[in-house]
Amino acid sequence: MRRPIIAGNWKMNNTKAQTYALLNDLVPLVADAEAEVVICVPYTSIWAAGEAIKGTNIHLGAENVHWAEKGAFTGEISADMLLEQGVEYVIIGHSERRQYFGETDETVNKRVLTALAKGLKPIICVGETLEEREGGKVEEVLVRQTTEALKGVDKDQLDKIVIAYEPVWAIGTGKTATAQDANDTIAIIRNTIAKLYCPKCAEEKVRIQYGGSMNPKNAKELMAMPQIDGGLIGGASLKAVDFSQVVKYNG
């Protein structure tokens, strides 16, 4: 059984004080959650978040990582820096990174390989734009992004990986794929992994999240789908009650 995983992506939100306040509210709300709970926070909030969730069932994540161990990469952060702060998960290849900051399939792969080598667990984002969707290129895009992201990844590393299907047209827009459509599209990603590795690997090792505006109203329906193992939550993760309702989607 693939354990459900609900991860919050705070993006560029929350000061240190706001981080403490949000997590102090969230911790008791998700204490008995069946799903694995992750919060991925800005670099400046990592230490505070780690302190706030110490001894709880919430796992700590970052929003990006560089592939180099150190060097002249102004504004970047290394895996060792994240590990020193207690980070376990890291988002890689989010559509906003691809759209605004020049991330490519190649740099996503380099980050994934470094994260795995250092012991971090990547949450790898893939997804099509509205133009690609309307052009009938959904499968082509997802197969390419998934294949390129996993280049050089060994079969025995797959259980450390989470993939987040994020239809770019649904991020922050309030638009959401229907539950059935999200399930069918995620099946494309799982079938790709099955072809790259083995059917059992795809079915048992890799958890795949839906990341297109999952919220308290649609989480239960989406999570009922057999291919959907969780959610990468943006806006709803910034409110403790909303995020807890997604985490506890079964009521």
Query: Model's pTM, two decimal places?
Result: 0.96
Which pLDDT score is estimated for 85?
Answer: 97
Asked if residues 63 and 85 have their Cβ atoms less than 8 Å apart, the reply is no
Which pLDDT score is estimated for 134?
Answer: 87
Which pLDDT score is estimated for 142?
Answer: 98
Residue 11's contacts (CB-CB under 8 Å, 6 or more residues apart) are 42, 63, 96, 234
The answer to whether residue 34 is catalytic is no
Q: Which of 63, 94, 96, 128 is catalytic?
A: 94
Alpha helices (runs of H) in the chain, residue ranges in sequence order: 16-29, 46-52, 79-84, 95-100, 105-118, 130-134, 138-149, 179-196, 199-204, 219-223, 240-247
Q: Which of 36, 96, 103, 166 is catalytic?
A: 166
Mean pLDDT, contiguous 10-residue spans, the chain (251 residues): 96 98 98 98 98 98 98 97 98 95 97 98 95 93 98 97 92 79 96 98 97 92 97 96 97 72
The answer to whether residue 59 is catalytic is no
Which pLDDT score is estimated for 177?
Answer: 80
Which pLDDT score is estimated for 171?
Answer: 74
Which pLDDT score is estimated for 226?
Answer: 97
